[in-house]
Amino acid sequence: MNQPSRHHHAHPAPPASSPAAEPLWIAPLEPMLVRLESRRSSPLRGLVEPGPTPAELERMLHLAARVPDHGRLVPWRFIVVEGESRRMLGERLDALYARQNPELPAAKADMWTLYMLRAPLTVVLVSRPDPAAKVPEWNQVLSAGAAGMALTVAASAMGFATQWLLKWPGRDPQATALLGVKPGEKVAGFIHLGRPSVESADRARPALDEVVSAWSPDQPSTSNETP
């Protein structure tokens, strides 16, 4: 073997004599692609029972936890709200909301309880970047977003639908404290989960020519700085 020098930090070029590596054959999974092509959110009011069994939920959360994570910091966590906990959390949120909004009309007095009771189960996705880590905080926040998407995709693969929302209970510091969210943590979303009861219309998806470009060496730099 041609050992790279101990002091050489750049990737060494492969020895000229080494043959090109053969690709590992990974079979394409057409049903998975078809499911991904039709995946979309279901409106919260259309999410119904039955929610996931404990075994299904555990499998889903395992899949959600399989995301890129720079530095293996695990900069996210999940809070599951299901069953009677939905009502108990909703009532605490309503009480807080009433204190914050003394003029709240009576018709809205139980709005957060109704909100929490809509879906059979809600996963609160919490971003918890470590500001002292060498890994940039941005990378850590993106990993939390990836965990939310992985959960959404896992739910879809298992026949559930989700809707990812981030309303007052996930934004207000006093409300997130009721959830058990600690200082330095931030709610990335309430991922509401259940069976879809209606075939919801898909929304328009971005045309690829609006979001994809090929980098070329001729393109002008967008930087104002002169090198």
* CA distance linking residue 156 with residue 154, whole number of Å: 5
Among 98, 133, 165, 178, binds ligand FMN (CB under 6 A): 165
Task: Note whether 122 binds ligand FMN by CB under 6 A.
Answer: no
Task: Note whether 88 binds ligand FMN by CB under 6 A.
Answer: no
Half-sphere exposure of 93 (CA within 13 A, CB side): 26
98 or 146: CB nearest ligand FMN: 146
94 or 164: CB nearest ligand FMN: 164
Task: Note whether 35 binds ligand FMN by CB under 6 A.
Answer: no
Give the number of other CB atoms < 10 A from CB of residue 100: 12
Asked whether residue 6 is marked as a ligand-binding residue, the answer is no
Spell 107-142 as b/e; 16+ CB within 10 A means b.
eeebbbbebbebbbbbbbbbbbbeeeeebeeebbbb
Asked whether residue 40 is marked as a ligand-binding residue, the answer is yes
Give the number of other CB atoms < 10 A from CB of residue 35: 14
Among 29, 32, 33, 166, binds ligand FMN (CB under 6 A): 166
* CA distance linking residue 143 with residue 127, whole number of Å: 9
Q: Retrieve residue 28's tokens.
A: 């394409």
Binding flags for ligand FMN, 39-78, as an x/- string (CB under 6 A): -xx-------------------------------------
Task: Note whether 198 binds ligand FMN by CB under 6 A.
Answer: no
Asked whether residue 127 is marked as a ligand-binding residue, the answer is no
Give the number of other CB atoms < 10 A from CB of residue 187: 21
Feature table: binding site for FMN: 39-41, 66, 70, 164-166
Residues that bind ligand FMN (CB under 6 A): 40-41, 163-167, 189, 203
